[in-house]
């Protein structure tokens, strides 16, 4: 885990790791060519895609979808990130461990979004970062955080007042 496979043995556990990128807004059709845009991304491994999203509860925000078909987003492109040699069962354990680090109530547009998640997964699996343009807007936002509205400087997800953590179940 973490080291990219360089041989082409073709074992059943060898698989491509790809970044699937989606447009969040039609304006990306214009800004993409200047290296900007508002993107969602997911990581594709062993025929499934994994992403990270926000919700109000202190449980994982990691989800699984069919590749290149994340609901609510417009698929733009796939970027090959490398190959790994990891059986599907080992990958499942890996992604479940990652999910424990990415709770939905910790999602933040600037500092912990879906693109941060895919970058973290990519680095741990292949040793490679995702392309900079995918999360460039968040990086610029972090550099200029004092200029951003207060609503973007704090977490964007709030607990519902009627939500209470269950215990003793």
Catalytic (active-site) positions: 40, 114
In angstroms, the CA 144 to CA 140 distance is 6
Residue 129, Cβ density class (10 Å: 0-12 exposed, 13-18 middle, ≥19 buried): middle
Q: How many CB atoms lie within 10 A of CB 89?
A: 10
> How is residue 143 written in tokens?
């550099």
Which residue in 4, 45, 40 sits closest to 22, CA to CA?
Answer: 40
Which residue in 68, 116, 67, 124 sits closest to 95, CA to CA?
Answer: 124
Non-local CB neighbours of 92 within 8 Å, separated by 6+ positions: none
């Amino acid at each position: 885990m973490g080291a990219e496979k360089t041989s082409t043995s073709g074992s059943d556990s060898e698989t491509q790791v790809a970044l699937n990128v989606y447009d969040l807004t039609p304006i990306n059709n214009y800004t993409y060519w200047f290296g900007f845009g508002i993107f969602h991304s997911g990581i594709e491994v062993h025929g499934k895609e994994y992403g990270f999203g926000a919700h109000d509860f202190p449980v994982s925000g990691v989800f699984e979808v069919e590749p290149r078909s994340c609901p609510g987003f417009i698929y733009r492109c796939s970027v090959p990130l490398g190959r790994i040699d990891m059986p599907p069962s080992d990958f499942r354990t890996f992604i479940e461990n990652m999910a424990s680090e990415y709770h939905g109530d910790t999602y933040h547009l600037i500092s912990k979004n879906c693109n941060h998640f895919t970058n973290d997964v990519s680095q741990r699996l292949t040793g490679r970062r995702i392309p900079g343009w995918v999360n460039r807007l968040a990086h610029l936002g972090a550099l200029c955080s004092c200029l951003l509205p207060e609503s973007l400087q704090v977490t964007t997800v709030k607990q519902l007042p009627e939500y209470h953590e269950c215990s003793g179940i």
